[in-house]
């Protein structure tokens, strides 16, 4: 038995307790566990995130640059705030000593050989909790053939997430023939947020991204998309941040870069440190010449 405590004296009767608002847009009313998990994804210092997306294999197999995730991605992990991946890759390949955030791909089903919008939930929340992940991601195909099914995947996951304190990321997926403009993405992002997603991932568009961010009441993260020249990817990142993105969830433009470790650091510098495009591209070139291009 410890000795009995003396009566405490330091009550600071003139100091009111602090009551801070949470740093993320639209997230102040969430529960403690949800906010704590979100703080493993978004930096409380900058309010932003660099998510490294490597989940492409869930529908297209060993994607270029992801053939050996142990060799290509594990060395990049220390530079990412968060990894976005499947439970198969997490368990088989990512060292459990990784202390950054993990966003678990939670929907799937069809391969690239079939209709991609025909997804269902593909992970139980119990397994996500066992894996100690910071959020679960679900694809939503607004306007797609299986639109309602994918919206219901999301709302079922949001109900589970709210029950267990697990944030849900809605990923707006666009069918091949659909217009990728601000009007479409405003619709898609807003539907996801209205139906309970805790944050949303969507594509950058050159005209009107600011209106997409403004009309989405929760944080909006920019998707990377297909590989483009590094200077263009840094420009897209810079513009998205200026126009209201709370960070990026970027895959191919990092791991398919000639110098992935340099690229992820340059992206971080734009997202977290306020570098402009010229400064960030210079950083990419300088670090790239030090670290060298990746082995083929």
Annotation marks residue 25 as catalytic: no
**Closer by beta carbon to ligand R5P, 30 or else 121:** 121
Residue with tokens 């139906």: 195
Site size with ligand R5P, rule: CB under 6 A: 13
φ, ψ (nearest 5 deg) of residue 88:
-65, -45
Does residue 175 belong to the site contacting ligand R5P (CB under 6 A)?
A: no
Does residue 69 belong to the site contacting ligand R5P (CB under 6 A)?
A: no
How far, in Å, are 59, 100, 173, 175, 191 from residue 179 at the CA level? 22, 35, 12, 9, 17
Site for ligand R5P in 5-64 (CB under 6 A): 53, 55-56
Where in the chain does DSSP place strands (E)?
Answer: 49-53, 82-85, 101-105, 107-108, 120-121, 135-140, 168-172, 199-202, 220-223, 247-250
Does residue 223 belong to the site contacting ligand R5P (CB under 6 A)?
A: yes
**Closest residue to ligand R5P in the complex (CB):** 224
Does residue 251 belong to the site contacting ligand R5P (CB under 6 A)?
A: yes
Interacting residue with ligand R5P among 225, 276, 277, 291 (CB under 6 A): 225
**Closer by beta carbon to ligand R5P, 192 or else 223:** 223
Region near ligand R5P per CB under 6 A, out of 73-81, 145-153, 207-215, 217-225? 217-225
> Residue 227 CB, nearest distance to ligand R5P (Å)?
8
Report the C-alpha gap between 24 and 222 in whole angstroms. 16
Among 28, 45, 77, 33, residue whose Cα is nearest residue 219: 28
Does residue 252 belong to the site contacting ligand R5P (CB under 6 A)?
A: yes
> Residue 116 CB, nearest distance to ligand R5P (Å)?
8
How is residue 244 written in tokens? 């209201």
Residue of 35, 201, 226, 294 marked catalytic: 201
How is residue 282 written in tokens? 């210079």
Does residue 171 belong to the site contacting ligand R5P (CB under 6 A)?
A: yes
Range 152-168 burial, b when 16+ CB lie within 10 A, else e:
ebbbebbebbbeeebbb
**Contact, 181 vs 226, CB < 8 A?**
no
> Residue 66 CB, nearest distance to ligand R5P (Å)?
9
Does residue 240 belong to the site contacting ligand R5P (CB under 6 A)?
A: no
Report the C-alpha gap between 257 and 293 in whole angstroms. 8
Region near ligand R5P per CB under 6 A, out of 3-11, 174-182, 187-195, 249-257? 249-257
Does residue 250 belong to the site contacting ligand R5P (CB under 6 A)?
A: yes
Does residue 123 belong to the site contacting ligand R5P (CB under 6 A)?
A: no
Report the C-alpha gap between 73 and 96 in whole angstroms. 14
Using CB under 6 A, list all residues that contact ligand R5P.
Answer: 53, 55-56, 171, 173, 223-225, 249-253
Q: Which residues are designated catalytic?
A: 201
């Amino acid at each position: 038995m410890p000795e009995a405590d003396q009566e405490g004296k330091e009550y600071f009767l003139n100091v009111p307790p602090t009551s801070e608002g949470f740093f993320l847009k639209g997230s102040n009313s969430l529960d403690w566990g949800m906010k704590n998990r979100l703080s493993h994804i978004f930096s409380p210092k900058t309010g932003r995130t660099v998510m490294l997306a490597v989940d492409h294999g869930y529908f297209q197999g060993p994607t270029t640059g992801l053939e050996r995730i142990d060799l290509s991605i594990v060395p990049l992990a220390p530079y990412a705030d968060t990894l976005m991946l499947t439970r198969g890759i997490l368990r088989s390949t990512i060292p459990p000593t990784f202390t950054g955030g993990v966003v678990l791909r939670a929907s799937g089903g069809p391969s690239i050989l079939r209709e991609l919008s025909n997804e269902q939930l593909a992970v139980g929340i119990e397994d996500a909790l066992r894996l100690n992940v910071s959020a679960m991601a679900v694809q939503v195909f607004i306007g797609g053939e299986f639109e309602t099914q994918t919206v219901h995947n999301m709302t079922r996951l949001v109900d589970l997430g709210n029950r267990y304190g697990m944030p849900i990321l809605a990923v707006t997926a666009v069918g091949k023939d659909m217009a990728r403009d601000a009007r479409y993405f405003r619709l898609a992002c807003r539907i996801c947020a209205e139906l309970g997603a805790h944050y949303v991932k969507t594509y950058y568009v050159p005209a009107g991204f600011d209106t997409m961010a403004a009309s989405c009441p929760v944080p909006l993260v920019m998707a990377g998309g297909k590989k483009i020249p590094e200077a263009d990817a840094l420009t897209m990142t810079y513009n998205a941040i200026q126009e209201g993105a709370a960070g990026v969830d970027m895959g191919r433009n990092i791991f398919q870069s000639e110098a992935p470790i340099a690229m992820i650091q340059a992206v971080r510098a734009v997202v977290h440190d306020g570098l402009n495009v010229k400064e960030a591209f210079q950083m990419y070139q300088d670090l790239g010449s030090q670290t060298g291009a990746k082995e083929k």
